[in-house]
Amino acid sequence: MLQLVIGIVIFAAVGAVAGVFLSWLSGKFRVQESPAADRIYEILPHTECGQCGHPGCRPYANAVADGKDACNKCIPGGRETALEIAKIMGIDPAEAETGEAPAPGAAFIDESRCIGCGKCQTVCPVDCIVGASRMKHTVIRKDCTGCGKCVKACPTECIIMDEIKESPESWDYEFSEESLR
Angle between helices 35-43 and 57-65 (to 10 degrees): 130
- pLDDT value at residue 27: 85
The structural domains of the chain, ordered by start, are 35-97 (1.10.15.40), 105-165 (3.30.70.20)
- pLDDT value at residue 39: 92
Helices and strands (H, E) in the chain, number of each type: 7, 4
**Cα-based distances in Å from 20 to 12, 27, 31:** 12, 11, 19
Please provide the DSSP assignment of 56-79 as one string.
Answer: SHHHHHHHHHTTSS-TT--TTTHH
Per-residue pLDDT of the chain (181 residues; tens, 9 = 90+): 899 999 999 999 999 999 999 999 888 888 777 888 999 999 998 888 877 888 889 999 999 999 898 888 888 888 888 889 999 988 887 766 655 555 667 889 998 899 999 899 998 888 889 988 888 888 988 888 888 888 889 999 999 888 776 666 655 656 666 655 5
Burial of 165 by CB count in 10 Å (0-12 exposed, 13-18 middle, 19+ buried)?
exposed
- pLDDT value at residue 62: 92
In whole angstroms, what is the distance from residue 181 CA to residue 167 CA? 26
Give the sign of the dihedral formed by CA 110, CA 115, CA 117, CA 119. Answer: negative
